[in-house]
Amino acid sequence: MITTEDEYALIDKILAGDRQAYAVLVDKYKNYAFTIALKILERRPEAEEAAQDAFVKAFHHMRSFNRQAKFSTWLYRIVFNTAISYKRKKRPVFQSIENSIVEYSEHADQKMERDDKQLFVAKAMNCLNEADRLSIQLFYLQEFSLDEVAEILGQNLNTIKVRVHRARQRLADELTKILKQEALTL
């Protein structure tokens, strides 16, 4: 486990020209960076590219790191902004269902039900704006505290509290709409 003091020592080494010291920071934060990028971009290859690009940006802007904030918060903000930029450039990708493989197993019904639930939640999440969606994902799925979510998104704590509360309500409303529509099509 790397302490804040250890991180600052690594940052000092990086600023002094030791590029290998940056690998330690990358190794520590690569999973979280990838997860944030994946939540925004929803495609593994783009998320990997965005996370890598964010690490490159962080390396080049290391001198602007303000030690009053945590390094992780500063890095996650760069990852968030990089992923949002990638998403703006994103083009829709279509997949043919003609070559899809359908499998059957004893637990196929349970898997289909779980997949349906995930699909409904994903549809409802896509109806939320990006800030609401990311707030919910960081707080509930990544289990960041509200303070950490506020730091990552660069917003006031009270704003995040209200955003998470309202986003949860909007999510419930969207699920209600989607499930009623699904019931009508059965």
Encode pLDDT of 23-48 as tens digits: 988 999 999 899 999 988 888 999 99
pTM listed for this prediction: 0.55
CA dist., res. 2 & res. 84, Å (int): 29
88's CB contacts (< 8 A; 6+ apart) are: none
85 closest CA partner among 54, 129, 48: 54
Residue 111's alpha-carbon distances to 78, 120, 122, in angstroms, are 37, 14, 16
Residue 186 has pLDDT above 50, yes or no: no
Whether 152 contacts 80, CB under 8 Å = yes
- The whole-angstrom separation of Cα 19 and Cα 111 is 46
pLDDT digits (tens, 9 = 90+) for 65-92: 888 878 888 898 899 999 988 888 865 5
